[in-house]
Amino acid sequence: TNGDGDMTAPTISDIEAHSDGNNPAGGSLGEGDIVTITATYDEMVIVETSSGTPRVQFILDAAEGVTGGAPVYAEYVDGTGTHSLTFQYEVQAGDSLTNGLVIPQDALSINGGTITDADFNNAINSHSTVPENSAIMIAAGSSTETGAPSADMTGINFYGHNYLLQHLEGPTNGGQAAA
C-alpha cells in the first residue's frame, strides 16, 4: 500500500467516445479509422494486463437479415497511473453504425485484467448508458476495393497439352478474385 490506508474504491466519473479526427464533419468513419473511448475515474488508477486486457463494448448495426447488432470491443491502450484510461477500436471492413455510437450501461469489463487504485482497491467499473453520439458513425463497407474483377479465359494447346489461362482485371483480394 502507499501508507495512507485508503479503503475507498475508485469509480468511473465519466465515460465518453470520440473518433481519431479522421471523419469529416457529418461524415462516417471508414476502415482503419479509430474509435477512442475514455473512462475517467475519481482517482488515479493502475491497470494490470498480464492476465487480460480491459475493454469497453459497443454494438454495431446488425448485418442484413440478422436480428441484433454485433458487439465489438475497444481495448485498453493507455492511462495507467492517471485518472483517465483510453480504449481504442479500429474500424474493420464491413462495420456499420448508422445512428451513432452508444456505450451500453456497464460496458467496461476488466476481461481478466485489473483496475485498482494505489492501495489495491478494485475499481468499481459500473456506469450509466452513454446516449447516442451521432458524431461517430461508421460506414466501412465490405471492402476498401470497389467493383468486381473481370476475367478473360483463353485456351491454348502447348505441345499436345490443353491449358486454360485466366486473365483478371480490376480489384483482387490477395491474388484471388474478389467475391
pLDDT greater than 90 at residue 73: yes
Listed residue (36, 22, 57, 37) closest to 139, CA to CA: 22
pLDDT greater than 50 at residue 145: no
Q: What is the mean pLDDT of residues 78-104?
A: 94
Q: In which band, very low, low, confident or very high, does the pLDDT at 167 lie, cut at 50, 70 and 90?
A: very low
Q: In which band, very low, low, confident or very high, does the pLDDT at 100 lie, cut at 50, 70 and 90?
A: confident
Locus of grid cell 482485371: 169
The DSSP result for 9-64, as a single string, is PPBEEEEEEEE-S-SPTT--B-TT-EEEEEEEEEEEEEEE-TT---EEEEEPPPPT
Say if residue 65 is exposed, middle or buried (CB neighbours under 10 Å; 0-12, 13-18, 19+): exposed
3-state secondary structure of 177: strand
Tens of pLDDT, residues 11-65: 999 999 988 665 544 568 889 999 999 999 999 999 999 999 999 999 998 766 6
Q: Is the entire prediction scored with pTM above 0.85? A: no
Least confident of 53-62, 92-101, 149-158: 149-158
Say if residue 108 is exposed, middle or buried (CB neighbours under 10 Å; 0-12, 13-18, 19+): buried
Write down the mean pLDDT value for the chain.
Answer: 80
Q: In which band, very low, low, confident or very high, does the pLDDT at 115 lie, cut at 50, 70 and 90?
A: very high
CA dihedral 23, 28, 29, 35 (to 10 degrees): 90
Q: In which band, very low, low, confident or very high, does the pLDDT at 79 lie, cut at 50, 70 and 90?
A: very high
pLDDT greater than 50 at residue 151: no
Cell of 88: 481504442
Locus of grid cell 494486463: 49
pLDDT greater than 80 at residue 165: no
